[in-house]
Structure 1
Amino acid sequence: MPNVPILTIVIVAYRSCDEIGPCLRSLPAMLAGQPIEIIVVDNSPDDGAGELVQREFPQVRYIATPENLGFGRANNLGLAHSDPHGRYVLFLNPDTVCTAAAFEHCVGRLQADATIGLISPRLVLADGSMDLACRRSIPTLWDGFCRASGLAAVFPRTPLFAGYNLSHLPIGGTYDVGAINGAFMLATRRVLQIVAPDGRVFDERFFMYGDDLDLCIRVGRAGFRIVYDGSVTVIHLKGVSVAKEYDQMSRAIFDANRDVYLKHFNPRGSRWVRGKFIVAFGLWKRVALLRARLAGRRTVRPV
């Protein structure tokens, strides 16, 4: 079937009028001789992004939502409107700038190895540094403490302190990790159907943050590998949405990840375990926010 897309790209936009154009221009129309399907779900259709997409990118399927559905619910909506015969699915942030080479390489990895559940290239920030969140462990409370307190930044090459973002591992290498960033999550549709047979790939209880970590945990528990491949890169202009609603969103990051841990690591509803995670994440949030303010930053990067 020559018209069946080899790859479906779902992009959830929120106040992304400035970012969505460069992102869409960076996406190839074809891959391995087959078309690429692009779906944009716009959670803020009054900001002008919709007009830009429909005017300059008529090949893109544009879906305007009546309200902000959040990251996971909007991604699920986009996937539900995709061609079910497409073999690969990429959940992509609008603040990314991609290359055909990155797509070809990552799709090739999935074609060659059915054990890979999710894959991400190296994500690079606007200043050329690596987005540390594109390769993560499933962090322990110790890892979280090291990340929030700054020990991980002081000793980035020491595994004891660098377990959260795995900064002791080579950035140009490829290896299995616990989690990757929701800005670029590529999978086969088959894996997503196994993990989410009802079509709801992302848990819609998580409004904006935590969805990617939750999905990685579920994919891993289903027996598939989460792979970071640093041999190809994608630019991630990280923090654009967070900076626009700093106080609300920076706190939401910590609270969402706390809820992921309560979901997956307290299945019996133990009050002691629940209390432990609430206290630990609360302290983590306060320490990280304090460090960011003392450093004069307007963004917090706990993940």
Structure 2
Amino acid sequence: MIIVAYKSRDEIGACLESLPQVLNDRAVEVVVVDNYPADGTSEFVGEAFPWVTLLDPGENLGFGAANNLGFEATRGECVLFLNPDTICNQPALQHLVSRVLSEPAIGLITPRLVQADGEMDLACRRSIPTAWDGFCRGVGLSGRFPRSKRFAGYNLTYLPERETYPVGAINGAFMLGRRSVLAKVASPMVPQVFDESFFMYGDDLDLCVRVAQAGFQLVYDGRYDVVHLKGQSVAKDYDKMSVAIFDANRDVYLKHFGKTPVARWKWRCLFGMWKRLALWRASRRGSRRVRPA
């Protein structure tokens, strides 16, 4: 398991306590990459969880680069990229690891992620949105008609939460897959699972696109829950965070779907309009949590 910590001193303890040290009769490898050691996360983890491997890169590498560093430091057959603001449980981990090892078609899998209030974190089960999906989410049609396949294609809310099926993308807070699959989709020049040109956001979506392009499935399994205390490990300036998320997702689309000048122009315009619309709607509601996922 690879956990990237950033100002995570107050939350990482609950995460690590929820992880088994043995799973399926095999020792569990846990690597924490501390992108912000100034808050005492490394000292706390070293004292309270001596079985965890700590990596201090000496600077904030960003989410993707830190995960790549952790990936290089592990050797397990299965690899779990996990946020420090999650709380796991052994039955869920055991079930998902068993699926990954027994179903070769699976590239990455996630359980149903639930927030502190018990509501589902919708970002754990997404499509690769079309322009229409983005429009419906931007103007609020997906929220008004969550059971409509036509309007709710972004977060797939028309699908049952408690079943399992392939999806377009999953959340970087919990991504479990086989090392052999991740190695296949890594950069051919260097062993980079995540594209390090994405510093904080967009890297999970980019990885999902590459896994799908390599012929593997992104799978959601809603029969098991993992808690995701969403937003605890990021800065609290939600306006800037929201803009960064929109821009990063735009760059994913430019990378994979912007092969022509016309396509690049289309995605730049659409993401620009979508971002402005979402920020305007949030300001009208008095909300500061504007997130495209």
Aligned to 1:6: none
Q: Determine which of 188, 193, 200 is the counterpart of 1:208.
A: 200
Unpaired stretches in structure 1, ≥5 consecutive residues: 1-8
Aligned to 1:5: none
Aligned to 2:288: 298
CA distance in structure 2 between the partners assigned to 1:187 and 1:295 by the alignment: 39
Please say if 1:259 is aligned against 2:247.
Answer: no
- For residue 18 of structure 1, give the secondary structure of its aligned residue in structure 2: coil
How big is each residue's C-alpha offset from its partner over 1:282-303, in whole Å with a ceiling of 9 and x where there is no partner?
Answer: 1111111122222222212211
Q: Judge which range, 273-282 or 116-125, deviates more.
A: 273-282
8 Å contact from structure 1 (residues 44, 65) kept in 2: no
Shift of residue 241 of structure 1?
3.5
Aligned to 1:53: 45
Query: Which letter does structure 1 place at the counterpart of 2:200?
Result: M
CA distance in structure 1 between the partners assigned to 2:269 and 2:193 by the alignment: 29
Shift of residue 246 of structure 1?
2.1
Aligned to 2:214: 222
Aligned to 1:40: 32
Q: Determine which of 12, 20, 38 is the counterpart of 1:28.
A: 20
8 Å contact from structure 1 (residues 243, 298) kept in 2: no
Change (3 A) 1:243 1:289: farther
CA distance in structure 1 between the partners assigned to 2:232 and 2:276 by the alignment: 22
8 Å contact from structure 1 (residues 156, 162) kept in 2: yes
8 Å contact from structure 1 (residues 239, 299) kept in 2: no
CA distance in structure 2 between the partners assigned to 1:145 and 1:254 by the alignment: 13
What is the TM-score normalised by the length of structure 1? 0.94
CA distance in structure 1 between the partners assigned to 2:85 and 2:70 by the alignment: 17
Structural RMSD (CA) = 1.1
Please say if 1:63 is aligned against 2:55.
Answer: yes
Unpaired stretches in structure 2, ≥5 consecutive residues: none
CA distance in structure 2 between the partners assigned to 1:224 and 1:15 by the alignment: 34
**Structure 1: which 4+ aligned runs deviate by more than 3 Å?**
none
How big is each residue's C-alpha offset from its partner over 1:31-56, in whole Å with a ceiling of 9 and x where there is no partner?
Answer: 01110000000111101211111110
8 Å contact from structure 2 (residues 85, 233) kept in 1: no
Please say if 1:80 is aligned against 2:72.
Answer: yes
CA distance in structure 2 between the partners assigned to 1:245 and 1:200 by the alignment: 29
8 Å contact from structure 2 (residues 166, 219) kept in 1: yes
Please say if 1:125 is aligned against 2:115.
Answer: yes
Q: How does 1:131-280 map to 2 (within 5 A)?
A: 131-196=121-186, 198-267=190-259, 270-280=260-270
Q: May I ask how many residue pairs the two structures share in their alignment?
A: 291
CA distance in structure 1 between the partners assigned to 2:74 and 2:109 by the alignment: 20
What is the TM-score normalised by the length of structure 2? 0.97
CA distance in structure 2 between the partners assigned to 1:143 and 1:18 by the alignment: 36
Aligned to 1:3: none
How big is each residue's C-alpha offset from its partner over 1:35-90, in whole Å with a ceiling of 9 and x where there is no partner?
Answer: 0000000111101211111110111111112221111000001111112xx11000
User: What percent of counterpart residues are identical?
Assistant: 62
